A and B are shown apart, each in its own frame.
Chain A
Amino acid sequence: NAGVMQNPRHLVRRRGQEARLRCSPMKGHSHVYWYRQLPEEGLKFMVYLQKENIIDESGMPKERFSAEFPKEGPSILRIQQVVRGDSAAYFCASSGQGAGYNSPLHFGNGTRLTVT
Chain B
Amino acid sequence: DQQVKQNSPSLSVQEGRISILNCDYTNSMFDYFLWYKKYPAEGPTFLISISSIKDKNEDGRFTVFLNKSAKHLSLHIVPSQPGDSAVYFCAASEGNAGNMLTFGGGTRLMVKP
Contact = CB atoms under 8 A, between A and B. Distances in A.
A4 B44 CA distance: 11
Nearest to B93: A99
A42 B105 CA distance: 4
Interface residues on A, range: 20 to 34
A95 B44 contact: no
A95 B51 CA distance: 17
Contacts of A91: 43-44
A55 B44 CA distance: 23
Interface string B79-103: 0000000000100000111111111
Given A42-B104, A43-B89, A107 B98 contact: no
A99 B44 contact: no
B103 A98 contact: no
A112 B95 CA distance: 30
Nearest to B43: A107
B103 A42 contact: yes
Given A41-B105, A43-B103, A101-B32, A31 B98 contact: yes
Interface of A: 4, 6, 31, 33, 35, 40-45, 48, 55-56, 59, 91, 93, 95, 98-99, 101, 103-110
